[in-house]
Amino acid sequence: MRGVKSFNPRARHCPICDEPCKKKGKTAAGSQRWYCKNCRYSFTSTRTDQQKLAQFREFCDYVTDTEPKRRLAGSLRTWDRNHAWCWDTRPVWEPTGEVYDQVFIDGTYIAHGWCVLIAATTDGVIAYQLCDKESKTAYTALLSRIPAPAVVTTDGDKGALAAIKACWPTTHVQRCLVHIQRNIRRITTSRPRIKQHKALYKIALNLTKITTAEEAIEWQKGLSAFHSLYDQWLAERTYKHTVPASQVPKFAVNNKSWWYTHHHTRRIVRSLDRYIKDGVLFTYLDPAIDPAQPLASTTNPLEGGINAPLKGFLHAHRGWSEDHMLTALDYWLYNRSINRQPLETFITNTRQTQPASKHKPNSDQPAKIDNAIDHEQPWEDSLTIRKGWIRN
């Protein structure tokens, strides 16, 4: 006597009668088809969790790479519809609390009027802050989340320096030597004509070649020699009554009777003297700091390693809405952070969207925008107030 055939305990159950089903081939897409002998219903069993995970992985690849959407498989509208829920997720930034030897800080401007302040090391991004412009308040919000490092390297923004003084008073400051060299070249140009600018430009070129304390001392001697040779030239003055009104600089139009003839060059030379006095030029050579690895003298690891690729990433995906751009920015920076986790772990970290507020017109005034037909006066279009006789 033949026994009753038993179903596999892993068999899918019919969504209609809840009876176990048997396999019945596969669909054209390769999915397993199930058949219920009781109600003769055929269906495919989908794993929603696996489908969501696959969609989220595709989304993470998209928002962390420069590959355009048009090169993705399938229809663009289908891709947008299937991955729309992914834009509501966010990565979770968890501070490590580690005290770093050197931290680079800088700001870069992106679309929709945003400025991104980034704090990073040579290993990756520590934290970032969104703001409208570089300021003390914005930098304070960024630096307050990070323990004070031994050295901070900055391009010299006033807001950054003020925030460093307030949040990290014991941290040594290293001014970016490339930015200083660039400021000098803006005055002298890369092909200076007069001898004073030639000497100053040579000092600027030698600044980024210094690797030892002895070379730093020789560079300072060269700056002192420049002062001894050209201080009298820097002190030359121009009086307002000796030049035509059209040649008076804007800063001297109202309340100055004279100004330094070479005020731009004088200002940049005085800034070099101030940097030496403050001790922010050669902090990377200070033996008292004793870092685990050699310190950098520029912000190039941040500007070239993070800011430039970030600009290229946003340019490749230009046209994003503001909300999509900020979401992708969050994932892109997190993917290059120090304490990063697999992006798949944030599949459930969704934000709550605020419902749109409904318009409630004041009962004392007529509605400015209405969504119904006035059945009492259906002939009135409610667009304008009309006067006079109706004419055909």
Write the pLDDT tens digit of every residue in 204-237.
Answer: 999 999 999 999 999 999 999 999 999 999 999 9
87 burial type by CB count under 10 A (0-12 exposed, 13-18 middle, 19+ buried): middle
In 3D space, the residue among 34, 35, 15, 58 whose CA is nearest the CA of residue 331 turns out to be 58
Same domain, 189 and 159: no
- Residues of the domain holding 121: 51-176+300-352
CB 342 within 8 A of CB 127: no
Same domain, 65 and 94: yes
Q: What percent of the chain has pLDDT over 90?
A: 64
Query: Is 218 part of any domain?
Result: yes
Query: Is 361 part of any domain?
Result: no
Query: Which of 269, 297, 325 is the last residue in one of the domains?
Result: 297
Model confidence at 326: pLDDT above 80: yes
Same domain, 165 and 120: yes
**Mean pLDDT over each residue of the chain, to the nearest integer:** 88
Model confidence at 1: pLDDT above 70: no
For the chain, where are the E strands, in sequence order? Answer: 22-26, 32-36, 41-44, 102-109, 115-121, 124-131, 151-154, 172-175, 237-239, 258-260
Query: Is 167 part of any domain?
Result: yes
> Which pLDDT value is given to residue 376?
65
Single-letter amino acid code for the residue at 233: W
Same domain, 155 and 245: no
127 burial type by CB count under 10 A (0-12 exposed, 13-18 middle, 19+ buried): buried
CATH number at residue 130: 3.30.420
Eight-state DSSP code of residue 257? S
Tally of domains within the chain: 3
Model confidence at 293: pLDDT above 80: yes
Model confidence at 4: pLDDT above 60: no
203 burial type by CB count under 10 A (0-12 exposed, 13-18 middle, 19+ buried): buried
CATH number at residue 33: 2.20.25.10
Query: Is 382 part of any domain?
Result: no
Q: Give residue 350's pLDDT band: very low, low, confident or very high (50, 70, 90).
A: confident
> Which pLDDT value is given to residue 28?
86
Same domain, 132 and 274: no
Q: Give residue 13's pLDDT band: very low, low, confident or very high (50, 70, 90).
A: confident
Query: Is 1 part of any domain?
Result: no
Helix-, strand-, coil-residue percentages of the chain, each rounded to 5 = 40, 15, 45
Q: What is the H or E stretch that residue 163 is in? A: helix 158-167
Q: Which tokens in the block code for residue 347?
A: 């599949």
Model confidence at 390: pLDDT above 70: no
Alpha carbon distance 147, 169 (integer Å): 12
User: How does strand 151-154 pair with strand 102-109?
Assistant: parallel
In 3D space, the residue among 158, 71, 90 whose CA is nearest the CA of residue 326 turns out to be 90
pLDDT tens per residue across span 171-212: 999 999 999 999 999 999 999 999 999 999 999 999 999 999
Same domain, 82 and 145: yes
Query: Is 307 part of any domain?
Result: yes
In 3D space, the residue among 94, 140, 143 whose CA is nearest the CA of residue 120 turns out to be 143
Same domain, 64 and 138: yes
In 3D space, the residue among 104, 49, 77 whose CA is nearest the CA of residue 301 turns out to be 104
Q: Rounded to whole angstroms, what are the CA distances from 24 to 5, 18, 37?
A: 16, 17, 11
Torsion of CA 93, 98, 100, 105, to 10 degrees: 20
Same domain, 256 and 211: yes
pLDDT tens per residue across span 63-74: 999 998 888 777
Single-letter amino acid code for the residue at 283: T
Q: Give residue 269's pLDDT band: very low, low, confident or very high (50, 70, 90).
A: very high
CB 16 within 8 A of CB 39: yes
Question: Residue 336, CB half-sphere, CA atoms under 13 Å: how many?
Answer: 24
pLDDT, average across residues 127-140 = 95
Model confidence at 314: pLDDT above 80: yes
In 3D space, the residue among 273, 270, 283, 271 whose CA is nearest the CA of residue 154 turns out to be 283
Query: Is 390 part of any domain?
Result: no
Same domain, 172 and 308: yes
In 3D space, the residue among 358, 370, 359, 363 whose CA is nearest the CA of residue 383 turns out to be 370
> Which pLDDT value is given to residue 56?
93
Same domain, 58 and 30: no
Same domain, 257 and 205: yes
Query: Is 93 part of any domain?
Result: yes
Same domain, 157 and 190: no
Model confidence at 317: pLDDT above 90: yes
> Which pLDDT value is given to residue 179?
95
